[in-house]
Structure 1
Amino acid sequence: MKRLPGTALLRAGRGLALPILLLLGAALALENIEATPLASLRNAQFDRYQRQMPRARDNEPVIVVGIDSQSLAAHGQWPWSRELLAELTHKILAGQPLALGIDIVFAEPDRYSPGVLGEKLAGLPRNILAKLPEPDSVFAEALGDGPTVLAVVGLANALPGSRPPHKPLPLLAGGDLARQPIARFPSAVVSRPVLEKAANGEGFINASPDALRSSSERGVLRRVPTLAFIDHQPFLPLSLEMLRLALGSAGQTVPEFGQHGMTGLRIGDYRLPTQGNGDLLIHYGKASSHYYLSAADVLAGVHAPEIFQSRFVILGFNSTGLQDSIVTPLGEIVPGVDIHVQVIESMLTGAALQRPYWLPWLELATLLLGGLLLIVAVPALRPRLAVLSYSGLAALLIGGGYLAFYSGQWLFDGPSLSLLLSPVFVSLLGSTLIEADAKRRQAEHELQDSREAAARTAGELDVARRIQMGLLPDPQALFAEEKRFAVAALLEPALAVGGDYYDCFMLDERRLCLVIGDVSGKGIPASLFMAISKTLTGTLTRLESNLGQAIRDVERELNRENPEYLFVTAFVAILDTDSGQLDFVCAGHDAPLLMRRGTIAKVDTLTHAGPPLCATDSYPYQADQMQLEAGDLLCLFTDGVTEASDGQSMFGGERLAAALLRHREKAPPDLLAALRDEVRAFEAGHPAADDLTLLLLNYCGQPAPTAKNGAL
């Protein structure tokens, strides 16, 4: 007996060779997961852990003073005068905060400084300029009144005007730390020297140099560095530098290293686990606006200084157009300053996500062990039990990931393991099924039996085709005497029978009903479902005056017995032939084209469009309305038209619209034939991908009354 293609490979080595090769391939893919689409799946699953189990935010140790729209309205556009910032700093430091971090870089001179004013206002007397205060000095004096930290921005490449910050962590300079794989920046954008000198510390506010690869994906920020070198000097991020200053002499900073890089960062008695490159995997808490204060309110004295006592304060932007917006794994969009808040809270609670170097090895071992269990168990089980076994293993892996996150914030990638094991399981199951099938096919006479059965099936399909086509109305015969409109229709199944259908009938003397539909799938199942759908649509639109309710009734009846889970896209319309009003319901179908006075446009179905029938349960379909004018042509079609292919591209809606315009002078039956011919010519001999159905309605309007007894 001749074997099917691929059978020899499935049955090689008693059906075990291919599963073992697939298991080795899965292990290789897991080792290089960052270069595969599975990286997106893994990150999405890790984000899902956080959305379902976010970090609890039991207290609010940080206050953000935001330069928001209220502040800009009260004190003018940004940048503000450094004198105003000095006033704001004095008011905050009067409350004796633990530390004040300023998430802003002041790299340029104040625009109100005497030097800048002298350049802009050349006629201003020099003696007056000499009497003006230097805003940077005023601001520097304010910075020196308390524990303050200025922001710096590390640069991947040195730029004109950039330079290293002046206040690194001296106790960490040099030594083995310089050889560790942590973030490095050759230079930075920093504040002016007079401000640097006055502040107690400086902290960087950017992610790693490889931020696009390691810190974010599609705009989601998942990690930030806890330590970085700028011009060979170590610096903490703004948030952790604030904590270090707040602890004073007890805030000794100790990076912890192991054989595979950095393992954690300790500041005083507080510790956070890190990745080998020093990145912190943030365990986000849900965003909150409770700890945000407007800078305008602080300047106006709305809040007593005591509100800042024994708390960390961060001054930053919280206004559209100024702030940098961050997307978190929780799906929330927050100001960039909120990331500093999350890091401080994480350090104080010791809460961080953990994915140490050995966790990928554990995942690899789990993958290999699970694959070996499948290789041993699946051939010995019946197909139903084999499917249950694999489903149980997948559920165990996915559930193990959730359990690991819940118990210790470990990021275990269970979904990727279950997905990588699926080809192994499918090959094992396929080998088992092929072996069983081979035992049932041993006699030569079965080949003859199958040929005879095929011939009988072909005959039955031919009869089914004739019956199916006989179910469709002939619009030209049905409306031969009609003057208010003209209807033409065409259906060509891709196979012997198909799932497309159309219908057109009068509900009463003035209302015309038009229906076009497309059942999912092809062949006999689709044709049977098509017949049921057409019959139900025609019956229920006659019984129910509300079109939306009629379609809901159709879906309910179709869903009553639908074991194959088929669905139908449909467009159902009722035309008032006297007024031209068209009521319609679009259930997942392509929007018809409307040709009016030589122009083509799609009918707007977005307002009340719903999903295909049987795609959901009990969808509340609603009817929409439009007004037809005399001479309008409505073209309804299925995707067999727009998705017709020449092997490289599809026919598409634009070609259909162009064809309508080219042949617009033809009567509907001739126009219909011309459109069909253009589609077939475009396919250039390629087999039809789907059934082709077109339904044209030419609305002529109410005919003028005829003369009778000499009067109109």
Structure 2
Amino acid sequence: DTELILNENLFTIAEKERDPALLDALDDILNGKEGFIQVKNSRRYPDYFLYYRGIPAVNWAMCVFIPESAFYAALYQMNFFLLAIVFIGLIMIIFIIQIVSKRLTKPLYDLSLAAAATGAGDFKANLPGKIFSSELIQLRDSVAKMQRDLQQHILDIQTATADKEKYESEINVARDIQMSIVPHLFPPFPNRKDMDVYAKIKLADSMGSDFYDFFFISDHKLCFALGEVTGKGVPASLFMAVTRTLLRSVAQESKRPEEILWHINKDLCSGNSTGMTVAFFVGILNLKTGETLYVNAGGQNPIILRENGKFEEIDTLSAREPGANENTIYIADTFAMQSGDHLILCSDGIINAANATDETFRKSAFEKALAHFQGDKPKELAEILLSELEKFRGAAPQTDDYTLLTLSYYSAETRGKT
């Protein structure tokens, strides 16, 4: 600054600035001392640094004024250079991070897409091939295993569904056979005044092959039967259909139950590779006398509800079931029915029906149920028995078919009154 050099000196500057630090420095110079101060907020000049030192030999003093901008110029330049280096370094770091991140996250992203596609049902979704992380390799292998397991699970479900549909179809066919083979129109003989009959099958979830039948073999003789084929499904239903057909065919020729069962047993044992048998009760009621000739071949004992309300179980000698041994000999027995009596035949599904506490229906509960019957119609009797059975069973599942036949007898003397 030319004006400063030509017109000013340290004393004039100190006097004008009135800066205490500058005045102290002036005293030091006069005393020959050395120092370095920073002068800020000058009224006339930019901030500066002052270095001074006395020279006693010549009674002089040397003062150096250094503007702050010049003093820090190198530092500012170095800071700028460092900032530039840091900025470039940050850009490079960000670039490297992006490359590494993409390298690491791209397989993870591809895995997430594959997992989503697998969840949507695409079990052949492509999985990433090049993976450099052991954790991601493990994750990829887990997704691949999940795809294979899901494929196998779907195949298992399809197979199980097909098997279930096949089984249900077989059950439906067997039920159709079972229900179409037995009489189902009631009353079956509306013009008869000497008897009435009713029967019903209540199917369980698992298909059985119970059946019943009744038909006249002469004007005054009624043949009735109730059977239970061992086994389930279509084979058992076909075996039941064959048995019922044999019953109708043989009974027209052989008028006695032991002869009927003997012929049926012979035919069923012939070529019976399945080993199926049929628990069979066959009876023939003489409507003129009330005498009932019967054979029980593995079935349940018949029950008679007498006209006076008395409960009576016929203790029968059970013979071997037809289909088991072709050499079986059957022997008939008899019991008498009086006018107003009701005969009850039922399957073991009713007798052995259990409630939630595993108690079975059996004789005591059966007798209690019969006490509610006050009418004279076999249908009403059957409905009361089945209703009481359902109450007894409660929430317990039905595990077997309920098959029931009720037969009411009215003698010739009371025929006109019914």
Query: With structure 1 as the length reference, what TM-score do the two structures score?
Result: 0.35
CA distance in 2, matches of 1:600, 1:592: 11
**1:499 maps to 2:217:** no
Measure how far apart 1:464 and its partner are: 3.2
Measure how far apart 1:461 and its partner are: 2.6
Measure how far apart 1:517 and its partner are: 0.9
Equivalent positions of 1:531-610 (< 5 A) are: 531-596=241-306, 597-606=308-317, 609-610=318-319
- Which amino acid in structure 1 is aligned with residue 314 of structure 2? V
CA distance in 2, matches of 1:634, 1:644: 20
Is contact 1:520-1:568 (8 Å) kept? yes
Relative distance call for 1:460 and 1:615 in structure 2 (3 A) is closer
Residue 623 (structure 1) aligned to one of 332, 335, 353: 332
Is contact 2:189-2:196 (8 Å) kept? yes
Measure how far apart 1:699 and its partner are: 0.3
Gaps of 5+ in 2: 1-150
CA distance in 2, matches of 1:530, 1:557: 13
Relative distance call for 1:499 and 1:463 in structure 2 (3 A) is closer
Measure how far apart 1:456 and its partner are: 4.2
Equivalent positions of 1:214-363 (< 5 A) are: none
Measure how far apart 1:702 and its partner are: 1.6
Is contact 1:500-1:530 (8 Å) kept? yes
Is contact 2:187-2:197 (8 Å) kept? no
Measure how far apart 1:442 and its partner are: 6.5
Measure how far apart 1:443 and its partner are: 8.5
Measure how far apart 1:496 and its partner are: 5.5
Measure how far apart 1:574 and its partner are: 0.6
- Which amino acid in structure 2 is aligned with residue 658 of structure 1? K
Measure how far apart 1:531 and its partner are: 1.6
Measure how far apart 1:603 and its partner are: 1.3
CA distance in 2, matches of 1:614, 1:660: 34
Give the equivalent residue in structure 2 for 1:249. none
Residue 639 (structure 1) aligned to one of 348, 358, 367: 348
**1:513 maps to 2:212:** no
CA distance in 2, matches of 1:495, 1:543: 38
Relative distance call for 1:705 and 1:498 in structure 2 (3 A) is closer
CA distance in 2, matches of 1:693, 1:482: 24
Relative distance call for 1:567 and 1:460 in structure 2 (3 A) is closer
Is contact 2:229-2:239 (8 Å) kept? yes
Measure how far apart 1:705 and its partner are: 8.3
Please give the per-residue CA displacement for 1:27-72, whole angstroms capped at 9, x wherever unaligned.
xxxxxxxxxxxxxxxxxxxxxxxxxxxxxxxxxxxxxxxxxxxxxx
- Which amino acid in structure 2 is aligned with residue 578 of structure 1? K
Is contact 1:484-1:703 (8 Å) kept? no
Measure how far apart 1:519 and its partner are: 1.4
Measure how far apart 1:458 and its partner are: 1.9
Please give the per-residue CA displacement for 1:110-134, whole angstroms capped at 9, x wherever unaligned.
xxxxxxxxxxxxxxxxxxxxxxxxx
Measure how far apart 1:617 and its partner are: 3.6
Measure how far apart 1:605 and its partner are: 1.4
Is contact 1:462-1:496 (8 Å) kept? no
Is contact 2:187-2:196 (8 Å) kept? no
CA distance in 1, matches of 2:353, 2:386: 11
- Which amino acid in structure 1 is aligned with residue 238 of structure 2? L
CA distance in 2, matches of 1:585, 1:475: 26
- Which amino acid in structure 2 is aligned with residue 583 of structure 1? L
Measure how far apart 1:480 and its partner are: 1.6
**1:695 maps to 2:405:** yes
CA distance in 2, matches of 1:495, 1:501: 16
Residue 200 (structure 2) aligned to one of 462, 467, 490: 490
Give the secondary-structure state (helix, strand or coil) at the position aligned to 1:516.
strand
Residue 528 (structure 1) aligned to one of 228, 231, 238: 238
Aligned sequence identity (%): 30
Give the secondary-structure state (helix, strand or coil) at the position aligned to 2:405.
strand
Is contact 1:493-1:500 (8 Å) kept? no
Is contact 2:194-2:415 (8 Å) kept? no
Give the secondary-structure state (helix, strand or coil) at the position aligned to 1:512.
strand
Is contact 1:574-1:583 (8 Å) kept? yes
- Which amino acid in structure 2 is aligned with residue 572 of structure 1? V
RMSD of aligned Cα (Å): 2.2
Measure how far apart 1:616 and its partner are: 3.3
List structure 1 runs of 4+ shifted beyond 6 angstroms. Answer: none
Is contact 1:493-1:691 (8 Å) kept? yes
Equivalent positions of 1:126-275 (< 5 A) are: none
Measure how far apart 1:467 and its partner are: 3.1
Relative distance call for 1:443 and 1:661 in structure 2 (3 A) is closer
Give the secondary-structure state (helix, strand or coil) at the position aligned to 2:292.
strand
CA distance in 2, matches of 1:705, 1:572: 25
Relative distance call for 1:460 and 1:565 in structure 2 (3 A) is closer
Is contact 2:187-2:198 (8 Å) kept? no
Give the equivalent residue in structure 1 for 2:387. 677
Give the secondary-structure state (helix, strand or coil) at the position aligned to 2:212.
strand
CA distance in 2, matches of 1:642, 1:519: 16
Give the secondary-structure state (helix, strand or coil) at the position aligned to 2:260.
helix
Aligned residues: 264
Relative distance call for 1:621 and 1:559 in structure 2 (3 A) is same
Measure how far apart 1:450 and its partner are: 3.7
CA distance in 2, matches of 1:667, 1:704: 15
Gaps of 5+ in 1: 1-440, 707-712
CA distance in 1, matches of 2:392, 2:414: 42
Equivalent positions of 1:459-498 (< 5 A) are: 459-474=169-184, 476-495=186-205, 497-498=207-208
Measure how far apart 1:697 and its partner are: 0.6
Relative distance call for 1:541 and 1:449 in structure 2 (3 A) is same
CA distance in 1, matches of 2:152, 2:162: 18
Is contact 2:173-2:234 (8 Å) kept? no
CA distance in 2, matches of 1:684, 1:644: 11
Give the secondary-structure state (helix, strand or coil) at the position aligned to 1:558.
helix
Instruction: Tell which structure's C-alpha radius of gyration is larger.
Output: 2
CA distance in 2, matches of 1:454, 1:460: 10
Please give the per-residue CA displacement for 1:441-498, whole angstroms capped at 9, x wherever unaligned.
9685354244134224423432432332011103524212210001011111223532
- Which amino acid in structure 2 is aligned with residue 599 of structure 1? K
Give the equivalent residue in structure 2 for 1:105. none
Please give the per-residue CA displacement for 1:542-563, whole angstroms capped at 9, x wherever unaligned.
2212321211111111111322
CA distance in 1, matches of 2:172, 2:206: 7
